[in-house]
């Protein structure tokens, strides 16, 4: 028999070359539409501006005298090329930098210069939009990180960390922008690696779907650590005291002086003796208890004493606390956790626990003497890395403790990781993180108040972890195909034209060979010629050596039945009934090392109807236990790949050649690389998950009018509203031609929005629209802003998301983001804001009293955090953000080389005075006269968004001069009304509903269509705003208006 083997290196090269070729073909289709050469008017710039430039610049930049090779008379109000635009940009740059006119020439009057810079800056912003306008064309894009993660979740039921993937932002403002979402060849390995990880994770979760593991970690384990600590303390102090007595004896006087000479910098007269105790006459013996091994190094003894001594009396109070034999109290970190982890209760999950969803429960109480502001526990992973997962309000008492439940996802990496810290979960008090300078400050202040230090507030009885089984949950559709291969344990065959099946078994020790017929077909009988079992090159299943029996018998009889062995030398066949089930068995009579099993099929007839076609081969030991590794047949691999590809490629047709290449890849992984079935299958499916048809949201059904198909509409809709592929309902509607119906499309839009998966959309859209990545740009000064911590950071971020989700769910007006008489908060955020009577960890609508500064975006701490540097507020950042996001009047980019104000660095000035000095420069005044009044109106919010009525500035120099002033939040909108305070400013901004609707509409279009907003989109924006205005700007009306629009159904 001729066997066909592939060279694995040649196969890999050919597969990779074809793969990259396909990828590059797709990428080439995403090329951006080039900027057209049509002319554009320079909006807002006219002859008045040209006259001003001619008056002050033409003497040096004219036909005869063109300094810097630049001529004013060549400036045109009609822009036809990028060179025309660049010439105007040079003018703007020179004005912003204060370079022109030169100091010795007549200067442009400050007000006229400010107007010119203002008008020209806005004109250039508009011009860029016009010149980059793609006229509605949508570039093919890869899945962004969110979409890739969610698509894997829908396909395989797993959550994968996608941080190693290429970044999503580029030319566009949103991570859905196709022009930014491309793949380079060096990124393919990242997708292959994540694909393998996803398949491995999915298989592990499936195999463990019914596995339950549970452990309860008792809180008193921490009490035992306290007791061990004090035992060490007693032993250490006793040993050190006895050593000190020996050291002052006359016999040690000489060595004492010598040791003091070796350590002149140390003032502790006893320390040298700790370091050289073995040289001291009469020194006490080192304790040999295993708990005191650190005595082997006297330096560590001293470190232990030194670290413990300052708070030893405080720590001793622990032993007098109630219920420490049934649980443990935690407090702020008063000593290094290597000595004693006073600040948290921890538990390391055992290695090998299967991945999946786990329930975490903890029984806790809050001490009766607990201060009101200490009410929250934090739960997370890796306590020293501060990987916070959630924060929880504790309302239980010592008499009636509370059980809190949360969830935890354990991945394969957690389960198999060698680093045990990856499996560490913890409970600690909110805000008591691992930075020591802050807890020490708290300790000193509390001790001054009560005489001993921070109260032991939280008692923890136990911490329990339990895996959630998923046996009753439906499998993701992609996993259904994979599971078929996991559940069918069969050997893979090679087939020749002679009807021979050969199974190489690599020396399995076995006694029985059993053939199972899974499909009877239409025949009464099926025939075989011979079954050979090879050992050492010989057939040990010859006639008379091994007994062969039929397990189905004939039509009238079932059960084991003697059968005639086939004869290869003659046309003589065995036959059995063509019924599914156990069909044939060879019993060797003893366990033998088997190298190969050969099954010769009937080949004496031109028809194959009576041949055995599909079968399962089992190799069993003397007790009937399966031996060796079992693998699927080619037909089943093909079936698996077809089903998996249909789901992975989101209904796109799959070419048979691609399936053939996958089969070749799988077989070569098995036969050449020697991988096991699961390893080869994982690698093969990883190829699918890193292929262009999976990674790209492909839309190929382009016609003259660029109308996408209904199947593509289903995917576009689901990736817009779910950041995930279409479900069966959408696909069925598309396949039956109903999805394009306006009424059906509206119903489906509401259905998708009502689904929890729409959370990914509202979070992604709002996060990027409001530039919330700034929350992670800087670290907050935690000494200055004491009530701010990681839990608060998580809560203020969630407030923006939860408020937006509330508006979407209830279909309320988006203008409530400008001003509202309520907030959407939880108890932790209520404490931060000082809002009473809010309990519970969940976010909910809370009514506000009149004249509350909260309500709407301007009342949210996250917005003000982004408008600062973590230490001080920035009126400029806040004012510019309001112009960009709320009033839809984005200021021009800050000019390069702005003259610095170093002369003011040592001046103790108010914020207003400092920025007023900045406006002395006309090129700065043009923007700041718009930005600063708004920013000043928000100055009642400090750097972390808390309300204040005073501000201060301290000179960082040696004199540390400090100035405190009452905040003046009054001002005037540029070319607009006056406002007397923050509330007046908020009312004015809230009145600009159309401008805000334009801002949000632009965001929805860019996010949902996957392309930057262009100048030609203004008609679409106006239509959506009008439709939404007619519905009182309800949030869903924006989505419906876009999705119903013909542009949404076009490429």
DSSP 466-526: EEPP-TTSPPPHHHHHHHHHHH------EE-TT-EEEEEEEEEEEEEEEEEES--TT-SEE
Q: What's phi and psi for 36, nearest 5 deg?
A: -75, 160
Q: If we measure between CA atoms, which residue out of 206, 200, 193 comes closest to residue 162?
A: 193
If pLDDT is split at 50, 70 and 90, which confidence band does 16 have? very low
Q: If we measure between CA atoms, which residue out of 399, 392, 389, 333 comes closest to residue 365?
A: 399
Over residues 246-253, mean pLDDT: 81
Higher-pLDDT residue of 19 and 79 is 79
Cβ neighbourhood burial of 59 (10 Å; 0-12, 13-18, 19+): middle
Over residues 11-20, mean pLDDT: 42
**CA angle centred on 490, ends 484 and 495, rounded to 5°:** 110
| DSSP letter for each residue of 15-64 | HHHHHHHHHHHHHHHTPPPPPP---EE-TT--HHHHHHHHHHHTTTBSSS
| 3-class DSSP assignment, residue 881 | helix
In contact, 364 and 400? CB cutoff 8 Å: no
453-465 in b/e burial notation, b at 16+ Cβ within 10 A?
Answer: bbbbbbbbbbbbb
Give the orientation angle of helix 145-156 with respect to helix 477-487, to 10 degrees. Answer: 50
- Statement: residue 13 has pLDDT above 60: no
* E strands present in 718-869: 822-825, 844-847
Residues in contact with 567: Cβ distance below 8 Å, sequence separation at least 6, in sequence order: 529, 530
Over residues 733-758, mean pLDDT: 96
Residue with tokens 């009047």: 889
Percentage of the chain exceeding pLDDT 70: 77
d(CA 766, CA 754) in angstroms, rounded, equals 17
In contact, 995 and 887? CB cutoff 8 Å: yes
If pLDDT is split at 50, 70 and 90, which confidence band does 169 have? low
d(CA 620, CA 863) in angstroms, rounded, equals 68
Higher-pLDDT residue of 93 and 589 is 589
In contact, 147 and 187? CB cutoff 8 Å: no
- Regarding beta strands 424-429 and 344-348, do their DSSP bridges make them parallel or antiparallel, or are they unpaired? antiparallel
Q: What's phi and psi for 905, nearest 5 deg?
A: -60, -30
Assign residue 656 a region (left: φ > 0; alpha: ψ between -120 and 50; beta: otherwise): alpha
| DSSP for residue 250 | G
- Statement: residue 602 has pLDDT above 90: no
- Statement: residue 369 has pLDDT above 80: yes
Which two tokens mark 861?
Answer: 């701490």
**Verdict on whether the full-model pTM lies above 0.85:** no
In contact, 170 and 63? CB cutoff 8 Å: no
Q: What's phi and psi for 701, nearest 5 deg?
A: -85, 50
Q: Kindly report the average pLDDT of the chain as a whole number.
A: 81
| 3-class DSSP assignment, residue 248 | coil
Q: If we measure between CA atoms, which residue out of 294, 291, 362 comes closest to residue 330?
A: 362
If pLDDT is split at 50, 70 and 90, which confidence band does 15 have? very low
d(CA 854, CA 839) in angstroms, rounded, equals 18
- Statement: residue 67 has pLDDT above 80: no
- Statement: residue 589 has pLDDT above 90: no
In contact, 185 and 38? CB cutoff 8 Å: no
Which two tokens mark 18?
Answer: 């074809």
- Strands of the 387-393 sheet, one edge to the other: 344-348, 424-429, 376-381, 387-393
d(CA 829, CA 843) in angstroms, rounded, equals 9
- Statement: residue 1037 has pLDDT above 80: yes
Percentage of the chain exceeding pLDDT 90: 40
d(CA 308, CA 314) in angstroms, rounded, equals 10
Higher-pLDDT residue of 62 and 829 is 829
| DSSP for residue 691 | S
Residue 86 neighbours by CB distance under 10 Å:
10
Return the minimum-mean-pLDDT range out of 228-232, 977-981, 984-988: 228-232
d(CA 508, CA 704) in angstroms, rounded, equals 63
Return the minimum-mean-pLDDT range out of 247-256, 629-638, 791-800, 883-892: 629-638
Determine which helix (DSSP H) or strand (DSSP E) holds 78, and give its type and residue range.
strand 78-79
End-to-end CA distance of the chain: 54
If pLDDT is split at 50, 70 and 90, which confidence band does 150 have? very high
The per-residue pLDDT for 909 is 78
- 66 forms beta bridges with 61
| 3-class DSSP assignment, residue 575 | strand
pLDDT in tens, 329-346: 999 888 878 788 999 999
Higher-pLDDT residue of 117 and 803 is 803
Return the minimum-mean-pLDDT range out of 531-535, 548-552, 825-829: 548-552
Higher-pLDDT residue of 16 and 801 is 801
The per-residue pLDDT for 718 is 97
The per-residue pLDDT for 1012 is 82
| DSSP for residue 1034 | B
- Set out the domains of the chain in order of their start, with CATH numbers: 40-131 (no CATH), 222-310 (no CATH), 312-467 (2.60.120), 489-631 (2.60.120), 766-991 (no CATH), 1001-1049 (no CATH)
- Statement: residue 398 has pLDDT above 50: yes
- Statement: residue 630 has pLDDT above 90: no
Half-sphere exposure of 708 (CA within 13 A, CB side): 25
d(CA 424, CA 217) in angstroms, rounded, equals 12
| Torsion sign across C-alpha atoms 107, 112, 118, 120 | negative
- Regarding beta strands 950-954 and 387-393, do their DSSP bridges make them parallel or antiparallel, or are they unpaired? unpaired
| DSSP for residue 258 | H
The per-residue pLDDT for 83 is 75
d(CA 542, CA 531) in angstroms, rounded, equals 9
Over residues 359-379, mean pLDDT: 94
The per-residue pLDDT for 838 is 96
Residue 166 neighbours by CB distance under 10 Å:
17
């Amino acid at each position: 028999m001729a066997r066909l083997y592939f060279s694995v290196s040649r196969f890999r090269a050919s597969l990779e070359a074809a793969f990259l070729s396909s990828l590059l073909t797709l990428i080439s289709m995403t090329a951006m539409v080039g900027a057209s050469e049509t002319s554009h008017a320079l909006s807002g710039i006219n002859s008045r501006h040209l006259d001003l430039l001619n008056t002050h610049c033409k003497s040096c930049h004219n036909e005869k005298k063109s300094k810097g090779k630049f001529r004013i008379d060549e400036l045109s109000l009609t822009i036809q090329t990028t060179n025309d635009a660049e010439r105007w940009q040079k003018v703007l740059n020179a004005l912003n930098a204060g370079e022109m006119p030169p100091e010795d020439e007549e200067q442009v009057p400050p007000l006229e210069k400010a107007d010119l810079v203002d008008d020209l800056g806005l004109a250039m912003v508009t011009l860029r939009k016009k010149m980059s306008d793609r006229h509605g064309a949508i570039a093919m894009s890869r899945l962004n990180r969110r979409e890739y993660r969610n698509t894997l979740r829908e396909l395989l039921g797993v959550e994968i960390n996608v941080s190693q993937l290429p970044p999503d932002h580029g030319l566009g403002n949103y991570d859905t922008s196709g022009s930014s979402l491309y793949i380079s060849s060096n990124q393919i390995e990242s997708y292959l690696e994540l694909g393998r990880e996803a398949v491995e994770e999915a298989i592990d979760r499936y195999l463990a779907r019914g596995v339950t593991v549970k452990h309860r970690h008792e809180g008193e384990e921490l009490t035992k650590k306290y007791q061990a600590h004090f035992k060490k303390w007693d032993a250490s102090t006793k040993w050190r005291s006895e050593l000190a007595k020996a050291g002052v004896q006359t016999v040690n006087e000489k060595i004492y002086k010598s040791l003091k000479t070796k350590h002149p910098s140390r003032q502790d007269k006893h320390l040298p003796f700790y370091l050289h105790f073995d040289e001291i006459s009469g020194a006490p013996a080192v304790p040999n208890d295993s708990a005191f091994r650190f005595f082997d190094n006297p330096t560590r003894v001293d470190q232990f004493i030194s670290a413990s001594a300052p708070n030893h009396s405080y720590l001793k109070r622990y032993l007098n606390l109630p219920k420490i034999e049934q649980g443990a109290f935690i407090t702020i970190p008063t000593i290094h956790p290597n000595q004693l982890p006073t600040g948290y209760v921890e538990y390391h999950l055992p290695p090998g626990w299967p991945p999946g969803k786990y329930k975490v429960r903890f029984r806790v109480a809050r001490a009766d003497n607990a201060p009101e502001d200490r009410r929250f526990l934090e739960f997370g992973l890796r306590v020293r890395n501060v990987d916070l997962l959630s924060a929880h309000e504790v309302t239980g008492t010592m008499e009636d403790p509370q059980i809190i439940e949360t969830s935890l996802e354990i991945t394969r990496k957690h389960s198999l990781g060698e680093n045990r810290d990856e499996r560490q979960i913890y409970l600690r008090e909110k805000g008591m993180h691992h930075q020591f300078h802050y807890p020490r400050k708290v300790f000193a202040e509390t001790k001054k108040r009560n005489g001993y230090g921070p109260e032991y507030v939280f008692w923890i009885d136990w911490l329990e972890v339990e895996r959630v089984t998923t046996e009753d949950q439906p499998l993701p559709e992609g996993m259904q195909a994979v599971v078929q291969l996991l559940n069918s344990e069969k050997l893979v065959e090679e087939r020749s034209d002679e009807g021979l099946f050969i199974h190489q078994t690599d020396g399995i020790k076995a006694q029985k060979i059993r053939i199972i017929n899974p499909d009877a077909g239409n025949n009464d009988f099926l025939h075989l010629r011979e079954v050979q079992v090879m050992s050492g090159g010989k057939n040990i299943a010859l006639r008379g050596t091994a007994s062969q029996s039929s397990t189905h018998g004939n039509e009238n009889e079932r059960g084991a039945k003697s059968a005639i062995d086939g004869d290869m030398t003659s046309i003589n066949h065995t036959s059995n009934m063509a019924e599914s089930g156990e069909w044939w068995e060879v019993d060797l009579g003893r366990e033998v090392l088997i190298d190969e099993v050969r099954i010769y099929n009937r080949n004496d007839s031109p028809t194959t109807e009576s041949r055995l076609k599909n079968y399962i081969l089992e190799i069993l030991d003397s007790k009937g236990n399966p031996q060796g590794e079992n693998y699927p047949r080619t037909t089943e691999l093909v079936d698996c790949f077809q089903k998996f590809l249909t789901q992975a490629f989101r209904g796109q047709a799959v070419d048979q050649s691609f399936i053939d290449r996958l089969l070749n890849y799988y077989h070569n992984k098995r036969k050449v690389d020697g991988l096991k079935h699961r390893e080869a299958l994982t690698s093969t499916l990883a190829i699918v998950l890193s292929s262009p048809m999976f990674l790209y949201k492909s839309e190929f059904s382009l016609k003259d009018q660029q109308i996408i198909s209904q199947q593509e509409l289903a995917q576009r809709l689901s990736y817009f509203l779910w950041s995930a592929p279409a479900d069966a309902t959408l696909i069925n509607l598309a396949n039956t031609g109903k999805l394009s119906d306006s009424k059906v499309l509206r119903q489906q839009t509401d259905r998708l929005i009502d689904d929890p998966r729409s959370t990914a959309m509202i979070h992604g859209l709002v996060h990027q629209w409001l530039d919330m990545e700034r929350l992670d740009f800087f670290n907050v000064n935690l000494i200055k802003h004491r009530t701010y911590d990681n839990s608060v950071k998580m809560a203020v971020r969630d407030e923006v998301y939860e408020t937006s989700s509330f508006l979407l769910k209830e279909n309320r007006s988006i203008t409530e983001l400008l001003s509202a008489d309520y907030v959407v908060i939880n108890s932790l955020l209520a404490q931060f804001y000082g809002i009473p009577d809010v309990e519970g960890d969940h976010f909910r609508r809370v009514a506000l009293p009149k004249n509350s500064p909260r309500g709407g975006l301007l009342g949210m701490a996250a917005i003000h955090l982004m408008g600062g540097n973590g230490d001080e507020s920035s009126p400029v950042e806040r004012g510019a953000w309001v112009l960009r996001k709320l009033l839809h009047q984005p200021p021009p980019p800050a000019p390069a080389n702005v003259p610095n104000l170093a002369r003011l660095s040592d001046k103790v000035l108010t914020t207003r005075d400092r920025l007023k000095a900045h406006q002395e420069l006309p090129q700065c005044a043009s923007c700041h006269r718009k930005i600063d009044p708004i920013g000043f109106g928000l100055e009642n919010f400090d750097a972390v968004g808390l309300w204040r009525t005073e501000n201060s500035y301290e000179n960082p120099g040696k004199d540390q001069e400090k100035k405190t002033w009452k905040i003046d939040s009054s001002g005037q909108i540029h070319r607009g009304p006056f406002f007397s305070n923050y509330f007046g400013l908020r009312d004015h901004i809230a009145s600009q509903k159309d401008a805000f609707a334009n801002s949000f509409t632009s965001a929805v279009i860019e996010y949902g269509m996957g392309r930057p907003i262009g100048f030609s989109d203004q008609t679409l924006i106006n239509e959506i705003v009008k439709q939404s205005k007619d519905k009182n700007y309800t949030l869903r009306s924006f989505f419906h208006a876009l999705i119903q629009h013909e542009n949404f159904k076009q490429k």
